[in-house]
Chains A and B, each alone.
Chain A
Amino acid sequence: MTVAKEVRTKIRSIKNTQKITRAMGMVAASKMRKAQDRMRRAQPYARKILQVIGHLAKGHPEYRHPYLQEREIKRVGFIVVTTDRGLCGGLNSNLLKHSLQQIKQWKDKGAEISLCLVGTKGENFFKRIGGRVLAHADHLGDAPKLADLVGIVKVMLSAYTDNQIDALFLCSNEFVNTMRQEPTVQQMLPIVPSTEVQLEHYWDYIYEPDNAKELLDILLSRYIESQLYRGVIENIACEQAARMIAMNNATDNADELINDLQLVYHKARQAAITRELTEIVAGAAVV
């Protein structure tokens, strides 16, 4: 019965693994819903701040803020958002591949590249392959706060103001639906004027303090922060969705394995019984 016993132990160990993957899948599903909820809650701010920026910019058409000005691009900054943990399918590999293609395109045009990394997966990757990294943040958890991102945004914005970079891109995953996450690269700086904001009014504002530029400065950096925040939250939703799928697949695979092994186990058991019976019958015949 040794074969049967071995198979039984194997089945038990696979069942244990299956319990873990099933639990991880369920945890990921609930975390994904929470992350999606957080994405939704962050939307009104982005919309409102864009409106206010639109109003303000329209009130001062002669003033072009550096964040809105296009200049010749010789140095490019990339913020690459990856996850902190693995077991989420090809999410990080796909994103890094996509980002790398973009980076290479700029590199081929002769641009210098600076990086800002969010998440340990990106850190490990660029640690191996090199790259000039200006700022880094990781272990943000499942519910990152805007406060965790203030530092890196500040670094990248000062790099932009000091002419260390001429454009800033955000590489992160876009949550299409639970089954699909797409790596995307968006331009953050200079800010692409959006055509969505329709200005029906022109307000001659009273400014406090009496300096519209200072206010615009604050507003624009808040806007960039909120964009990065959205990117990070969306990436977490993607991570959890990808993990959920990966874990559900693993659970299904374990089911198949168990079925196959069960078959092997029954065969071995029956073979052993048959053999024993033959032995007994043979023994009886001799007597």
Chain B
Amino acid sequence: MVNTRVTLRLDIVSAEEAIFSGEVEMVFATGIMGELGIAPGHAPLITALKPGDIRVILPDAKKEEVFYVKGGMLEVQPFVVTVLADTVVRAHDIDEAAALEAKARAEQALASTASEIDFAKASAELAEAIAQIRAVQRMKKQLKQ
């Protein structure tokens, strides 16, 4: 089969925003196993990315654009490339540290808490809060009349 298409569609997205979307001639990225150059018609591939640059060659006048990603995933289909970029540098021990911090916060914040939920107390408290709001709304209505 002769490939007539000379561009591929590239989407670079992160959990916080879409970084790039458009037609490109070629993509260069740093995979976990080494440098990758992806041209249209590349074999399907999925790889994890190392923190590094993603270099893109745009179709008009061979302009280049460079995006920095802090790791992520790269999915290649013959004419569609998707980069799922991470917004933070990820590594097992960094994640572990963040998890420990979240646990520590929980322990610190709720040091004196009993481990069983007191449903009666909870519903009483919520009912009170909601009743207060309702009362304010009712009073406001009465004022208007």
Give the interface of A toward B (CB within 8 A): 38, 41-42, 44-46, 48-49, 51-52, 55-56, 89-90, 93-94, 96-97, 100, 103-104, 107, 113, 116-117, 123, 125-138, 145-147, 150-152, 154-155, 158, 201, 203-209, 212, 215, 218-219, 222, 225-226, 229, 249, 253, 256
Contact = CB atoms under 8 A, between A and B. Distances in A.
A146 B15 CA distance: 7
B117 A113 contact: yes
Given A100-B119, A100-B126, A52 B96 contact: no
A218 B31 CA distance: 15
B106 interface: yes
Given A151-B101, A206-B45, A133 B88 contact: no
Interface in B33-53: 33, 43-48
A255 B102 CA distance: 45
Given A45-B18, A127-B113, A249-B140, A208 B84 contact: no
A208 B18 contact: no
B44 A38 contact: no
B130 interface: yes
Interface residues of B, number: 58
A137 B33 contact: no
Contacts of B7: none
A133 B16 contact: no
Chain A facing B: main interface SS: helix
Contacts, number: 188
B3 interface: no
Given A41-B17, A129-B117, A229-B15, A145 B88 contact: yes
B47 A207 contact: yes
B4 to A, nearest CB: 19
B21 to A, nearest CB: 8
The 7 residue pairs across chains A and B that have the minimum distance between CB atoms = A151-B98, A151-B102, A208-B47, A154-B99, A203-B44, A136-B106, A135-B102
B143 interface: yes
A21 B122 CA distance: 30
B15 A150 contact: no
Contacts of A225: 15
A41 B18 CA distance: 6
Given A208-B32, A256-B143, A129 B118 contact: yes
A145 B105 contact: no
- Give the most central of B16, B123, B130: most A CB within 10 Å: B16
B81 to A, nearest CB: 11
- Give the most central of B17, B32, B110, B133: most A CB within 10 Å: B110
Interface in B101-134: 101-103, 105-106, 109-110, 112-119, 121-123, 125-126, 129-130, 133
B65 interface: no
B100 to A, nearest CB: 8
